């Protein structure tokens, strides 16, 4: 009975920590000036729909930032332009928090303190706080990709949400080869077809903007900032690449990260470690993109879930520290730490093959604890608890987890 009371107390404390982290994050959002700066860029789309998108990529928001996403993003985000900035920001904040809760819930086992602890860690991290602060779409892209990779989407539609995410912002394209390498080739084709179809629809709706984007804007890697600037979290900002030798070094680094990511994430996906695959490939997209800002590291959420579930508390602590707003004295030092966090996930996040609960059980491998549904077998050799396959994480064996 005393153990039960302690367990309930621990769970209550964990939820109080999550609530405090949420309140603190919302106060941080309210302190923004200008309010929801990146969201105000998204709202530009509404004002250019009637002209075929003419001038979309020349327009500037209140913070002088340009629209940088593909034209289909202007179409999908246009409704936000019909609202006031505070109202649009409230909608975006609510959607982002729902997305965060959904992804976190799918990445941890039910019951216990794992869910509130993961939410608390996410809400005090720089990536998640800045997604909310700027009104960014990062958590919405995360939930779209997660819905497909974590097998939430109905089987016939699986891959479509990855395609939507890739059409809105090109970096989720990194998941298409992952699906192919992970043995989910139909989903890779569905994702590709969805992205192409949405881009074609946008080309019809916004012909001027589409022509400008695909022939000019896409190739301006410094449009959203200096690739070699001190705030860039990707390899392009972390690896000096002046001259031919520097570009060769950068190319080798990018290729190495992609190879490691696809080998590790592909193996995890084939073995049922879907959450680990989601985290590794997502962080690889941060590392290899020409420019990555702090809010792009939202793949930290499934990464921390894997570390938490696999009881790799040392790695969890390192990830939490690297992505916290440390008083390191310069923006570049903070960028280096967060870039290192992305590389750490790609190289060291646990992705070992899960094992059956019992060697006599010929059912699917143990893939986590989320969604366990025990069934009873009539055979004496199959008395072990059977698990319905619900993807979770690429953790260690049940013995190693304790």
Q: Is 275 helix (H, G, I), strand (E, B) or coil?
A: helix
- pTM, two decimals, is 0.87
The rounded percent of the chain whose pLDDT value lies above 90 is 69
10-37 pLDDT, tens digit each: 899 999 999 999 999 999 999 998 899 9
62-116 pLDDT, tens digit each: 778 899 999 999 999 999 999 999 999 999 999 999 999 999 999 998 888 999 9
**Is the predicted pLDDT of residue 390 greater than 60, yes or no?**
no
**Is the predicted pLDDT of residue 401 greater than 80, yes or no?**
no
Q: What angle (nearest 5°) sits at the alpha carbon of residue 28, between those of residues 32 and 296? A: 85
Beta strands in 99-154 (DSSP E): none
Q: What angle (nearest 5°) sits at the alpha carbon of residue 154, between those of residues 150 and 156? A: 115
Structure tokens of 281?
């490939």
The answer to whether the beta carbons of residues 313 and 291 sit under 8 Å apart is no
For the chain, give me the number of helices (H) and strands (E)? 18, 0
pLDDT of residue 347: 97
Q: With CA atoms as reference, report the closest residue to 65 among 42, 41, 88.
A: 41
CA distance 306 to 350: 7
* Residue 209 to residues 26, 54, 205, 216, Cα–Cα distance (Å): 35, 6, 9, 10
Q: Is 337 helix (H, G, I), strand (E, B) or coil?
A: helix
**Is the predicted pLDDT of residue 177 greater than 50, yes or no?**
yes
**Is the predicted pLDDT of residue 398 greater than 70, yes or no?**
no
* Residue 48 to residues 58, 62, 211, 234, 307, Cα–Cα distance (Å): 11, 16, 14, 32, 45
Q: Is 374 helix (H, G, I), strand (E, B) or coil?
A: coil
Q: With CA atoms as reference, report the closest residue to 396 among 263, 271, 300.
A: 271
pLDDT of residue 399: 32
| Of 241 and 313, more confident | 313
* Residue 51 to residues 47, 67, 73, 207, 258, Cα–Cα distance (Å): 8, 16, 16, 9, 40
CA distance 286 to 121: 20
């Amino acid at each position: 009975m005393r153990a039960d009371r302690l367990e309930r107390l621990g769970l209550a404390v964990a939820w109080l920590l999550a609530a405090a982290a949420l309140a603190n994050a919302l106060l941080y959002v309210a302190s923004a000036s200008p309010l929801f700066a990146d969201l105000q860029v998204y709202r530009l789309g509404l004002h250019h729909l009637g002209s075929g998108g003419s001038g979309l990529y020349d327009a500037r928001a209140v913070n002088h930032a340009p629209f940088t996403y593909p034209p289909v993003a202007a179409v999908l985000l246009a409704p936000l332009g019909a609202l006031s900035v505070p109202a649009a920001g409230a909608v975006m904040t609510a959607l982002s928090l729902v997305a965060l809760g959904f992804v976190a819930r799918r990445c941890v086992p039910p019951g216990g303190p794992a869910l509130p602890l993961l939410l608390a860690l996410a809400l005090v991290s720089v990536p998640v706080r800045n997604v909310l602060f700027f009104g960014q779409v990062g958590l919405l892209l995360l939930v779209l990709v997660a819905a497909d990779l974590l097998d939430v989407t109905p089987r016939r539609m699986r891959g479509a949400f990855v395609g939507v995410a890739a059409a809105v912002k090109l970096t989720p394209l990194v998941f298409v080869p992952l699906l192919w390498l992970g043995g989910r080739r139909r989903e890779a084709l569905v994702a590709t077809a969805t992205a192409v179809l949405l881009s074609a629809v946008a080309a019809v709706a916004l012909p001027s903007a589409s022509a400008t984007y695909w022939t000019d804007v896409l190739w301006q890697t410094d449009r959203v900032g200096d690739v070699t600037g001190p705030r860039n979290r990707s390899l392009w900002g972390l690896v000096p690449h002046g001259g031919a030798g520097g570009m060769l070094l950068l190319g080798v680094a990018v290729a190495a990260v992609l190879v490691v990511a696809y080998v590790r994430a592909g193996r995890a996906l084939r073995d049922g470690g879907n959450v680990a695959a989601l985290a590794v490939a997502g962080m690889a997209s941060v590392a290899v993109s020409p420019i990555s800002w702090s809010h792009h590291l939202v793949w930290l959420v499934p990464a921390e879930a894997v570390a938490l579930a696999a009881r790799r508390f040392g790695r969890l602590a390192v990830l939490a520290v690297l992505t916290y707003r440390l008083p390191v004295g310069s923006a570049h030092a903070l960028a280096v730490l967060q870039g290192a966090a992305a590389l750490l996930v790609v190289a060291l996040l646990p992705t070992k093959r899960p094992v059956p609960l019992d060697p006599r059980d010929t059912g699917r491998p143990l893939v986590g604890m989320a969604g366990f549904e025990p069934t009873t077998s009539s055979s004496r050799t199959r008395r072990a608890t059977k698990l319905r396959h619900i993807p979770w994480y690429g953790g260690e064996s049940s013995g190693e987890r304790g």
